[in-house]
Chains A and B, each alone.
Chain A
């Protein structure tokens, strides 16, 4: 296994040298084709991490490298999906999914002359998430779960080597969420792209990931790493496996401890003031 994403002692500060620290001393290493999850209390800089790895924000200290190269600007080998599906309401589903092809090179230049090939690719992807009958529908005609499936397709259409997911299932009901874990897992298992999933759902992290990074409260840094070596494909049954429960339990305790510590710290600060 080769290393694909590497963070070395990364710090990120918003709003100039006196601004708030979102991340400090964060280091992690993710192998090629690995599914990594990042969990932590809210406000620990999980989403900032996404922006650093994709090159949307520059680091304040330390370095980030992806595929052996230092990240200095937006990466084109990345697909991203957020909690908000952000599909374009004026486009039908198929052309929504194909949006990245109109932007990212080399597809951008080839799209017009190879339109049949690309359309087939998009249809294929929609079929894998069970949306093949909805390609002509507009996003607002679909349920939240279906929109999120389409969002997933859009983030994968240009066959990125790295998929970044920021709480992609956070706004869905529990049943839809668990269903989409299965969908995401099966796509990942056939394509084996490196994935970083930011989530606050510990069961989601344990279900999907090979490795889970636990982050501390702000300024965030990695305080624990858990390997999840449960067999794949995992199913909802897996979530009742004692080993699975043990992992979730361990992480929950760590996060509870972080929350307590930051509460105590806040009280101390209050007394000093």
Chain B
């Protein structure tokens, strides 16, 4: 197999896998006569997507909005926290156990508390998305800051660089690959957070739609909801993966760039 056909195959591979899964699923449902309220066929789910596309679109955009607002707050808070714990050993030591403890709490368990404070609806969904998404960002930014070479720090300190200089000239640029990598993880977590909160305490959003569908035994609509969430997750992941590639090409050392030889 030559290189170009190999590349073409790499491009179509994800689609082949998805198509394969759907075909096997469809065949299984038909062959074994699985009833729609146990597992609807892909065709039936697609039918539900078409039939209910108006409410699905409306609820999906609501979920997307909650996710994005929560995620934006997560970026702001996560970067700030990351910078703080990455640049001060004392704060790092102090906050470490608290952060680990916080991260071990299943966020579903926190939603009722948030409802108590923020009420049913959008604020709770945004807060849950935020709570799930800031942690990986903070950890990654802090790690990036901690990997600055001590020699380089010496070189710059001997020139009279302040802590601020070190942060802006070296620390933050060095942390960028870590930061962008964490965005891909965080955006999917933000989706999970928003949908969890909508399922428990909301009158809008995909999570709410699925809960309604479930109580009305519209199983294909439930699966349509799952499908839409997955789709939004993949789409946002791709957006951030693209941004990462554009912003931090130096970290992955673009393979098409020729290395220069010589002493």
Contact = CB atoms under 8 A, between A and B. Distances in A.
B165 A140 contact: no
B95 interface: no
Contact of B156 (A103, A140, A164, A175): A103
A135 to B, nearest CB: 12
A56 B260 contact: no
A225 interface: no
B155 interface: yes
A134 B149 CA distance: 24
A103 B165 contact: yes
A161 interface: no
Q: Which of B159, B248, B257, B259 is most buried by chain A, counting CB atoms within 10 A of its CB?
A: B159
B159 A76 contact: yes
Nearest to B151: A82
Contacts of A226: none
Contact of B173 (A81, A82, A90, A146): A90
Interface in A67-108: 74-76, 78, 80-82, 84, 86, 88-90, 99-100, 102-105
A103 B161 contact: yes
B158 A86 contact: no
A74 B155 CA distance: 10
B253 interface: yes
A143 B260 contact: yes
A146 B250 contact: no
Contacts of A99: 156, 169
Contact of B160 (A74, A145, A175): A74
Contacts of A140: 250, 253, 259
Contact of A82 (B155, B176, B257): B155
Contact of B262 (A75, A88, A146, A164): A146
Contacts of A102: 165, 169
A67 B156 CA distance: 21
A145 B262 CA distance: 8
Q: Which of A51, A102, A158 is most buried by chain B, counting CB atoms within 10 A of its CB?
A: A102
A191 interface: no
Given A103-B160, A103-B161, A103-B169, A155 B155 contact: yes
A99 B173 CA distance: 14
B170 interface: yes
Interface string A125-147: 00000000010011011110110
A78 B160 CA distance: 10
B251 A86 contact: no
B263 A141 contact: no
A157 to B, nearest CB: 10
Contacts of A86: 149, 151-152, 155
A89 B250 contact: yes
Contacts of A42: none
B160 A137 contact: no
B158 A80 contact: yes
Contacts of B176: 90
Contact of B260 (A76, A103, A137): A137
B260 A104 contact: no
A74 B259 contact: no
Q: Which of A105, A134, A143 is most buried by chain B, counting CB atoms within 10 A of its CB?
A: A143
A55 B158 contact: yes
B160 A143 contact: no
A112 to B, nearest CB: 15
Q: Which of A76, A86, A142 is most buried by chain B, counting CB atoms within 10 A of its CB?
A: A86
A51 B176 CA distance: 30
A84 B170 CA distance: 16
B155 A104 contact: no
B53 interface: no
A140 B253 CA distance: 8
Contact of B154 (A51, A100, A104, A137): A51
Contacts of B152: 86, 88
A257 interface: no
B261 interface: yes
B157 A74 contact: yes
Given A84-B149, A86-B149, 18 more contacts: A55-B158, A56-B157, A74-B157, A80-B154, A84-B151, A88-B170, A88-B174, A90-B248, A99-B169, A100-B156, A100-B159, A102-B165, A103-B169, A105-B160, A137-B260, A143-B261, A146-B260, A154-B155
Interface of A: 51, 54-56, 74-76, 78, 80-82, 84, 86, 88-90, 99-100, 102-105, 134, 137-138, 140-143, 145-146, 154-155, 158, 164, 175-176, 179
15 contacts: A54-B154, A55-B158, A74-B158, A75-B158, A80-B154, A82-B154, A86-B149, A90-B173, A90-B250, A102-B165, A103-B159, A103-B161, A105-B160, A146-B262, A146-B263
